[in-house]
Amino acid sequence: MNRVSYLVREAFVNLRRNALVVTGAILAVFISLSFAFGALVVNELVRVNTVAWQQGVHIIAFLKDESDAGIGSDAHAALFSELLTWEEVKTAVYFDKADAFREAQEILPPDILSEIDPSILPASLRVELHDIDLYQNVQFRLVGSPVVRKVVSLGDRIEALSSLSRVLNRLGLGLALVLGFGAVVLIANTIRMAIYARRDEVAIMKLVGASNGFIRVPFFIEGMLEGLLGAALAVIVVWAFSRNLADAGEALPLFNFTLRDSFFYRWGILFLIFGGAAGLIGSVVGLRRFLREADGARPVVGRRVLEEV
Amino acid sequence: MIRLKDVSKVYEGATVAVRDVSLDIQKGEFVFLVGPSGSGKSTLIRLLLREEAVTHGVIWVAGKDITRLPTWKVPYLRRSIGTVFQDFKLLPRKTVAENVAFTLEVLGRPRSVIGPQVGQVLELVGLADKTDRYPRQLSGGEQQRVSIARAFVNRPPILLADEPTGNLDPATSVGIMKLLDRINRTGTTIVMATHDHAIVDAMQRRVVQLESGSVVRDEASGRYETMSEVP
């Protein structure tokens, strides 16, 4: 217990005595993780908005009249029932001719509407999919049905939106990964610099019998605290920035800038853990080679070489 | 207490620092290692501390073969050996008391033991009134006293000193030697590498002379130079 409290005390003393280097390390972590967390926030905003844009009717199948030759009197109901059993289909609504006319009344101006014969408006099936990427499967099957007159889908727009979302997702995650890795490297370098500045001190500690573990622990605690503090700052700043963005973006109807608090809690905790772990890994990497060198030389030659010299 | 058998050390580049040295040092002895620069005195000290590994031969310290000691056990060896260096090797960011206490912290001693023990040893070396000073605030002689206090605070059976008076003026050196003599009288074995003729001649202790890495003289109560060498 005495040793543990000594090592923790040592870590805090080191933090205080190396304030400049420590501040540098914290800022390095803060900057890297801010960008990484920011990339995740942008990624989440794109995802949330993509999902919102993707909700609604994805495919409309206009149907032939049941009075047409070769179409049975219950053909529409049969196709509708079958459609509901397809696993890609989330929901489907049947619009009969009367529904179609009511819709036309809502959309079209009265002068044009007066020219339209309600009987020529086709019945239709409005389909919402579980996964819009699968729209082509459903479209293909509908086109093959003898009841279907024409299929209209949001195909191009769906594909463009999906691919944009995918690219942005990958970009965001890739950026977060690269910047996260950058944070580890920065901490490792900073800790290595801190150790290099204290190499004589570490060598003396070893000479008076300090084990590698005894020397390492304060550096580990130091690295972990630096990582944690940097990550905490990054989470707070990105959260505050995101809140401001949400307030400022309320006036924009097309894009939703508001993210759920649960997103910040989940990722905030993960970033704190990552910051602490990055600090720890940085310290381990920074110390490993140095302590190995300080452990003393191994025998380089044996008896035979000795006789030769 | 310390036994070396056919110990040799060859550095990379085939530089022979120590060649076939065999020595027996008994408990409580005070041994001077003398010889010109490059004769192998410091290397011998480094071998005893396992700062270097032997190329050939065996070294026993307190009955244990330290040449076969795994790296992770080296700290345990060093905890049983006090070490004093020419350049003091004090931790610059620790106070006098913290420097001395460090040895005991490494050993995991409780704070209730560390405080009194540090006070006691600082009293012994005459620095009880400078516990809160940093090394840079002390003279060379005082820094060496702190270094001795750190080496002796856990009462090690062996104390190695590598040119402890090398950076000090003659008067201060005498004070340091008196201190080492006092420690030796408590039963601590002391092995000291030195260039200082006056000290060796005045102390009249065992002298082991090295030249080009080999022992050329081992006298029980010797002087720095043999009578034949004195002009």
Task: Write the ipTM.
Answer: 0.82
**A210, A297, A306: residue with CB nearest B8:** A306
Report the SS3 class of residue B30.
strand
Residue with tokens 């270094």: B147
Put simply, whether A297 touches B (Cβ < 8 Å) is yes
Q: How far apart are CA B63 and CA B80, in angstroms?
A: 13
Residues in chain A within 8 Å Cβ distance of B150: 208
Q: Is B170 on the interface with A (CB under 8 A)?
A: no
Confidence of residue B58 (pLDDT cuts 50, 70, 90): very high
Long-range Cβ pairs for the range B214-221 (8 Å, 24+) = B214/B19, B214/B20, B214/B21, B214/B40, B215/B21, B215/B22, B215/B23, B216/B35, B218/B23
Kindly report which listed range (A200-204, B68-72, B81-85, B146-150) carries the lowest average pLDDT score.
A200-204
Q: Is residue B215 over pLDDT 80?
A: yes
Check CB contact of B92 with chain A, cutoff 8 Å. yes
pLDDT of residue A1: 61
CA-based max dimension of chain B:
57
Reading phi first (left if > 0) and then psi (alpha if -120 to 50, else beta), residue B14 is in left
B19 close to B7: Cβ distance less than 8 angstroms: no
Q: In the Cβ-directed half-sphere of A13, how many Cα atoms lie within 13 Å?
A: 11
How far is A170 from chain B, CA to nearest CA, in Å?
A: 46
User: What single-letter amino acid sits at B122?
Assistant: L
Chain A residues whose CB is inside 8 A of the B151 CB are 208
Nearest to A150 by CA among A112, A116, A131, A123: A123
CA distance A286 to A223: 10
Band the pLDDT of B9: cuts 50, 70, 90.
very high
CB contact (8 A) between residue A296 and residue B12: no
Token pair listed for A18: 């190396």
pLDDT at A135 over 60: yes
Tokens 């590698």 map to which residue?
A: A212
Q: Residue A259, by phi and psi: left (phi above 0), alpha (psi -120 to 50) or beta?
A: beta
Closest-CA residue of A relative to B153 is A208
Among B12, B103, B110, beta carbon nearest to A208: B103
Q: How far off is chain B from A286, nearest CA to CA, in Å? A: 19
CA distance B3 to chain A (A): 19
Q: Distance, in angstroms, between B69 CA and closest chain A CA?
A: 12
Select from 3.30.70.3040, 3.40.50.1100, 3.50.50.60, 3.60.150.10 the CATH code of A58-153.
3.30.70.3040
B110 part of contact set with chain A, CB < 8 Å? yes
Has residue B22 got a pLDDT over 90?
yes
Suggest the residue from B56, B73, B214 to mutate for an interface test with chain A (most A CBs closer than 10 A): B56
The mean pLDDT value for A250-255 works out to 66
Could you give the CA distance from residue A276 to residue A229 in angstroms, rounded to a whole number?
8
Residues of chain A with CATH 3.30.70.3040: 58-153
